[in-house]
Structures are given as structure tokens and as C-alpha cells.
Amino acid sequence: MAAQDPSTPQHPTYEQARDELVEVVRRLEAGGATLEESLSLWERGERLAAICQDWLDGARARIAAALDEQPPAAAAQSQAGASEAANSSASA
């Protein structure tokens, strides 16, 4: 499934899907739902997780495409900057 157009109600934005998924998980963890309600929540959660993954996959592809469009020196600097940022946040 490719990243969805956020303008349609069937395809929420990443943030909408993530927030709804958080609510689904909260309701499942709270318990008290019937078996049928729990199954429906689980199925909705699976669909929401897939939507979130599609958005993330699309974002990764866009980043990769942007890096591929950069001249080799600029791409190396971008990757070095990302590595430095990751290292500094890991050591903090």
C-alpha cells in the first residue's frame, strides 16, 4: 500500500492514524470490551498500523530520492551530518 492522500476520509494522515492507533491500544489494554468489540478494535489497529507504515515507507522513499538527486559531495555531507547528530543524541 502506497502513502495515502490525506485529503480523503478513508486515508487519514500519519498523525491521525497514529493518534487513533494509540486510542485503540489504550482501549484494548483497558479491557472490559466484549470479544467481538476486542476483535473489531484489533482489526482496526492492524489497519491503522499498516497506514502508518505506508506513510513511513513513503517518507523514507522521498528522503532516499532527495539524497539521490544531490551532488555526491552534498549527499556525503548530509549523511555525515545525520551521523553526527545521531552520535551526539546517543551520548546525551
In a domain, 1, yes or no: no
d(CA 79, CA 88): 14
Q: Which among 27, 2, 6, 30 has a CA at the least distance from the CA of 17?
A: 6
Give the pLDDT band (50/70/90) at residue 72.
Answer: low
Q: Is 55 among the domain residues?
A: yes
In a domain, 6, yes or no: no
Residue 40 counted as domain residue: yes
Instruction: Provide the domain count of the chain.
Output: 1
User: Domain range holding 62?
Assistant: 14-91
Q: Compute the distance between CA of residue 49 and CA of residue 47 in angstroms, rounded to an integer.
A: 5
Residue 90 predicted with pLDDT over 80: no
The model's pLDDT over 4-63, given as tens digits with 9 standing for 90+, comes to 454 456 789 999 999 999 999 999 999 999 999 999 999 999 999 999 999 999 999 999
pLDDT band at 82 (very low <50, low <70, confident <90, very high): low
Q: How many whole angstroms from its chain centre is CA 17? A: 9
| pTM for the whole structure | 0.65
Instruction: Please spell the DSSP secondary structure of 56-84, one letter per residue.
Output: HHHHHHHHHHHHHHS-HHHHHHHHHHHHH
